[in-house]
Structure 1
Amino acid sequence: MKLITLMFALCSAVAVQSRGYPVPYFYGGSRAFEEPFDYDDCFKDVEMGPIRCRAHFLSYKWDMVTMQCQETVYGGCKPTKNNFLTLEDCINTAQDICQRIQEPFE
């Protein structure tokens, strides 16, 4: 039974990677990429694309409407750089960069 479970897990990981979804890894508190957080990332959601995966991981993102980090849910696939493990990571990474942007609504 353990062998079957292990085989299923390995096949699932290969299937996820073969569809082009990155397996999340962590860089400076963010679940996404090696490139540094930039102005464009302030506007992004925690996942790319219209289709969301079904996992429910607690996550934090910068919200341009409230101009602060907010708790959200990450589905587990296709992370953006605006996807943080902790509130502290979000504040330390995104706040200084995103608060420099003047809101287009003002």
Structure 2
Amino acid sequence: MECLTFNYPAKTPLPECSHVGVVGSGDLEIIMVPNDQKVINVEVNTSIDGFADIWEVVLERFFEANHYAMNVKINDFGATPGMVTMRLAQALEVSNTHEYAQR
């Protein structure tokens, strides 16, 4: 088991908390929580050791395009980079959907 941390710049707080996915064979869970620090803090807990470079590339690519200030916790059980990107997008969509539903 490996725990990785990453930080990226942010512009505006995430609208709402979100939680997607489940920790299971080939999948992952993502929890996003807004913060007011103008930074994206990412913690990855993965069952697969030795892939820090891959995580860095996938996360950097995603957060270059998405600048919400938030704390992100990812609990991984062997998800592919494509699945990681899909779940991140899904979590962001859930957060934005909650914001619009409250208006």
Please, what TM-score do these two structures have when normalized by structure 1?
A: 0.31
Hey, which of these two has a bigger chunk of strand by percent?
2
Higher relative contact order structure (alpha carbons within 8 Å, sequence separation ≥ 6): 2
**Is the radius of gyration larger for structure 1 or structure 2?**
1
